[in-house]
Amino acid sequence: MAGGKPFFSKTVEAHIQSECADGFDHARIDLDRKAAKRILHLAAIVRKESVSSVHDYDYTPSFLATDYDSEDESLKEVEVSTDCDQIVVTRDDFWWEGYLKHSDPPVSWSTDRITLEELRVALMPMKELPRHINREWHDKDSGIRLKRRLAGR
């Protein structure tokens, strides 16, 4: 979904639904403005049509694994073959899910959810941000992202 310069980047936990499979435990999501607006558009469709979610094929995530051999247990990018990767958009949040390629039986994976509020804040013009400072956030990341934008970081 992301084709232009990323303006929204977030690393989230990822979960493989098998005790036997390994390969990654995080996913990096890089979205350009067009992709972010499309996600918000899909959420509007969910609300308008009163459906629980909308799914669309999307291979945006890149996968990371915790390097337990490093001193700080940093994340390193890993090559993983996945299939049927989809973004799932609800009225409040979005995430990705799919399957590990060539797994038999099929092994699914999914990312943690990202709130739509985070995208709205990222797309919001700077002059509109101050009125949102005292608002309660669904998660702490939205508030942190807002404070960074106001500080010019």
Count of domains forming the chain: 1
Q: Is residue 20 part of a domain?
A: yes
- Let me know if 32 is exposed, middle or buried by CB neighbors in 10 A (0-12, 13-18, 19+): middle
58-82 average pLDDT score: 90
| Mean pLDDT, rounded, for 65-70 | 86
With tokens 């639904």, the residue in question is 17
Statement: residue 144 has pLDDT above 90: no
Please choose, from the candidates 25, 90, 12, the residue with its C-alpha nearest in 3D space to the C-alpha of residue 51. 90
**Taking the model in full, what pTM does it have?**
0.80
| Burial zone of 27 (CB within 10 Å; 0-12 exposed, 13-18 middle, 19+ buried) | buried
Peptide bond into 105 cis (omega under 30): yes
Range of the domain at 111: 8-115
Condensed to tens digits (0 to 9), the pLDDT of residues 83-121 reads 999 999 999 999 999 999 988 888 999 999 999 998 988
Has residue 100 been placed in a domain? yes
How far the first Cα of the chain sits from its last, in Å, is 25
Q: What is the pLDDT of residues 19-40, one digit of tens each?
A: 766 789 999 999 999 999 999 9
